[in-house]
């Protein structure tokens, strides 16, 4: 993928809600155009996709929890079918 993530552009500066939202939208549209993600994805759905992929790779639940920043295994009940 040749698209630079939006967070690379402002290293060291805090995000504002509007700044993050604008950059995420541009980045998401570029990923959709590139075919890297399906249209309509949200950050939350991408997090759950990561959890599903890690589980399918055989990663233990502790690793998945660590990656997602969860204290519980709640992700198991909400992970979308791929």
The whole-model pTM stands at: 0.54
Give the pLDDT score at 56: 94
Residue 3 belongs to some domain of the structure: no
Structure tokens, 23: 């950059």
Number of domains in the chain: 1
pLDDT over threshold 60, residue 3: no
Distance, in Å, from the CA atom of 80 to the CA atom of 51, rounded to the nearest integer, reads: 10
Q: How confident is the model at residue 11 (pLDDT cuts 50, 70, 90)?
A: low
Residue 72 belongs to some domain of the structure: yes
Residue 18 belongs to some domain of the structure: no
pLDDT in tens, 29-67: 998 999 988 898 888 888 888 889 999 999 998 888 888
Q: Nearest-CA neighbor of 51 among 24, 71, 78?
A: 78
């Amino acid at each position: 993928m040749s698209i630079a993530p939006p967070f690379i552009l402002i290293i060291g500066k805090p995000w504002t809600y509007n700044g993050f939202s604008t950059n995420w939208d541009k980045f998401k549209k570029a990923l959709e155009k590139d075919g890297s993600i399906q249209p309509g994805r949200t950050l939350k759905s991408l997090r759950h996709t990561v959890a599903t992929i890690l589980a399918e790779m055989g990663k233990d639940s502790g690793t998945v929890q660590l990656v997602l920043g969860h204290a519980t295994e709640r992700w198991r009940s909400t992970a979308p079918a791929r």
